[in-house]
Amino acid sequence: MTEKNRNNFLFSREQLADTVEKIVRGTPITDIHTHLYAPSFGSLLLWGIDELLTYHYLVAEFFRTTEMPYSNFWNMSKKEQANAIWQSLFLERSPISEACRGVLTVLNRLGLDTTERDLNAYREWFSKQTLEEHVNRVFEVANLKSVVMTNDPFDLLERDFWLTPVEIDSRFITSLRLDTLVLRWIEIYPMLQTWGYTVDKDLTDETLSEIRRFMSDWIQKIKPVYVAISLPPQFDFPEHNPRGIILEQAILPVTKFFNIPLALMIGVNRNVNPELRLAGDSVGTASLRPVEHLCEKYPQNKFMFTMLSRENVHSACVTARKFRNLLPFGCWWFLNNPSLIEEITTMRIELLGTTFIPQHSDARVLEQVIYKWEHTRQVLIKVLMEQYSKLLATGWKITEDEIQRDVSNFFGGNFWKFLESKF
Ligand code: FIX
Ligand code: ZN
């Protein structure tokens, strides 16, 4: 131990609290899963107050407060939908849900007056922003370094942007999302045919080889940091259905070849209420055995994973302890609430130390990164403070540099190191 380090020890709880807060707030984040797009993707990048208010989390909450027929809502303009949600969720009752509070955190951090409750004044403010400056400002307020987009080659609108590529703001990083390929093969294989791949409904050797070619083409085209798929709670591995065959014979060999992780997002039951459209997905508890089978059988493949059900979080930590080629990430969607982030992050630290990625934002609307990260940072400060205090109680001493190292790993380091690793 050098004299310099000894002098830097944080001795008191107060020193520790100030340092943890300063570092958690001051460390820029790589947000590893969002649904945001770089400005060059035009209308695919959602931003502004009407988008914030019509976020699908709020749409689901709105329908709990009204007898309005679903179709009436969907026939409204975006502005009218936003008005209805504002009226019902913010004015007729207190906006104390996480998603409602999020809108207010955004307004507040952007310097707008939340005491005014004047939706048109907020609209006017947003209408005066130029997109480029606004993106810079949002990144600055949220203290973000970069965000990973969700890039879907089966989304025809998005596909057009990739076919005539323009320069992409380097803060927006790509990921290749393949739900459609893996989960909807029977419906979508004709699309691959029209794009020049010799595929058949039956997953013959030639078809699988063409699927691998399709994936390789897209990996070379968009240079994703990972490939991702979301899966229902019934997901199993191995499985003798198109999902299992495509996974094992196309996704795994290609991700291994390019040495990029496959991110598994497990536990979503899609469309349990189709009337709610994007807001109509739900959750189910899954088994961790398929993930264990995958990691055991393919130790040279890299997997990232997040579970949607709270009931799965503990077993997920145990599974992660067993496989170094498996990196847990984020408190996904219905778990992205302060009480659950606190519980999950504490549990992960107790079982995994610092070897996981605590959070991603899942932002769909640009400004949401402000609230999602502000709320997460508040919880992380509390959780880390508790864990470091317990260390101090053993007589162990900590330096500011050590706390910075740990937080930097949480906010990007673990992710980037995992991408570089080769097993
Ligand atoms: O599958 C996903 O990536 C989910 O995060 C989304 O589809 C979901 O709609 C969402 O926005 C959750 O935050
Ligand atoms: Zn998502």
Given a cut of 70, whether residue 3 has pLDDT beyond it is no
Dist CA 298 CA 251 (whole Å): 12
Does pLDDT of 102 surpass 70? yes
Give me the mean pLDDT over the 150-178 stretch: 96
pLDDT in tens, 283-295: 999 999 999 999 9
Strands in 52-194 per DSSP E: 144-148, 172-173, 176-177
Say yes or no to pLDDT of 278 above 60. Answer: yes
Backbone φ and ψ for 150, nearest 5 degrees, come out as: -110, 105
For the beta sheet containing 172-173, the strands, ordered from the edge strand earlier in sequence to the opposite edge, are 29-31, 144-148, 172-173
What pLDDT sits at residue 11? 74
What pLDDT is stored for residue 38 in this prediction?
98
Mutate to test the pocket of ligand 1, among 32, 33, 34, 35 (most ligand atoms within 8 A of CB): 35
Residue indicated by tokens 């493949």: 301
Q: What is the pLDDT of residues 30-45, one digit of tens each?
A: 999 999 999 999 999 9
Tell me the average pLDDT of the chain: 97
Which atom number of ligand 1 is nearest to the Cα of residue 230? Answer: 1
Tell me which DSSP letter residue 147 carries.
E
Quote the pLDDT of residue 6.
Answer: 62
For ligand 1, what atom is nearest to the CA of residue 177? 3
What token pair was written down for 128?
């005066």
Determine the pLDDT at residue 8.
83
Q: Is 197 in the pocket of ligand 1 (CB under 6 A)?
A: no
Say what the pLDDT of residue 4 is: 59
Q: What percent of the chain has pLDDT over 90?
A: 96
Q: Is 172 helix (H, G, I), strand (E, B) or coil?
A: strand
Query: Atom 13 (ligand 1): residue with closest C-alpha?
Result: 333
Residue nearest to atom 2 of ligand 1 (CA): 230
Reply yes or no on whether the pLDDT at 346 is more than 60. Answer: yes
Model-level pTM?
Answer: 0.98
pLDDT tens readout for residues 349-364? 999 999 999 999 999 9
With CA atoms as reference, report the closest residue to 221 among 185, 258, 171. 258
- pLDDT at position 5 is 59
Residues 237 and 365: their CA atoms lie apart, in Å, by 34
Phi-psi region of 375 (alpha: psi -120 to 50; beta: other; left: phi over 0): alpha
What is the tens place of the pLDDT at every residue in 116-148? 999 999 999 999 999 999 999 999 999 999 999
Element (H, E) at 326: strand 326-328
* pLDDT tens, residue by residue, 34-93: 999 999 999 999 999 999 999 999 999 999 999 999 999 999 999 999 999 999 999 999
CA of 398 to the centre of ligand 1 (A): 38
Looking at residue 228, its pLDDT comes to: 99
- Count CB atoms within 10 A of the CB of residue 124: 11
Distance 362 CA to ligand 1 centre (A): 7
The DSSP H or E segment spanning 231 is strand 227-231
Q: C-alpha angle with apex 131: 51 to 136, nearest 5 degrees?
A: 105
**Ligand 1 probe mutation, 152, 270, 281, most atoms within 8 A of CB:** 281
364 ligand 1 Cβ < 6 A: yes
Contacts of 134 (CB under 8 A, 6+ apart): 47, 366
Report the separation in Å between the CA atom of 377 and the middle of ligand 2, taken as the mean of its atom positions.
19
The confidence band for 22, taking pLDDT boundaries of 50, 70 and 90, is very high
Q: What is the pLDDT of residue 1?
A: 57
Q: Which numbered ligand comes closest to the C-alpha of 372?
A: 1
- Of 357, 373, 358, 364, nearest to 150 by C-alpha is 364
If you average pLDDT over residues 3-7, what whole number do you get?
60
Confidence of residue 384 (pLDDT cuts 50, 70, 90): very high
For the stretch 185-243, pLDDT in tens is 999 999 999 999 999 999 999 999 999 999 999 999 999 999 999 999 999 999 999 99
Q: CA dist 246 to 11, 195, 409, Å?
A: 55, 18, 33
Predicted local distance difference test score (pLDDT) of residue 66: 98
Question: Does the CB atom of residue 230 touch ligand 1 within 6 A?
Answer: yes
User: What is residue 397's predicted lDDT score, i.e. its pLDDT?
Assistant: 93
Minimum-distance ligand to the CA of 102?
1
Q: Which ligand is nearest to the CA of 229?
A: 1
- Ligand with the closest atom to the CA of 268: 1
**Which ligand has an atom closest to residue 332 CA?**
1
Do the Cβ atoms of 83 and 50 come closer than 8 Å?
no
Q: Best mutation site among 329, 362, 369 for ligand 1, i.e. most ligand atoms within 8 A of its Cβ? A: 362
Which amino acid, 41? F
The C-alpha atoms of residue 125 and residue 48 are separated, in whole angstroms, by 9
Residue closest via CA to ligand 1's atom 9 equals: 278
Nearest CA to ligand 1 atom 1: 230
Instruction: Tell me if residue 330 falls in helix, strand or coil.
Output: coil
Q: Give the 3-state secondary structure of residue 332.
A: coil
Q: What is the mean pLDDT of residues 378-384?
A: 98
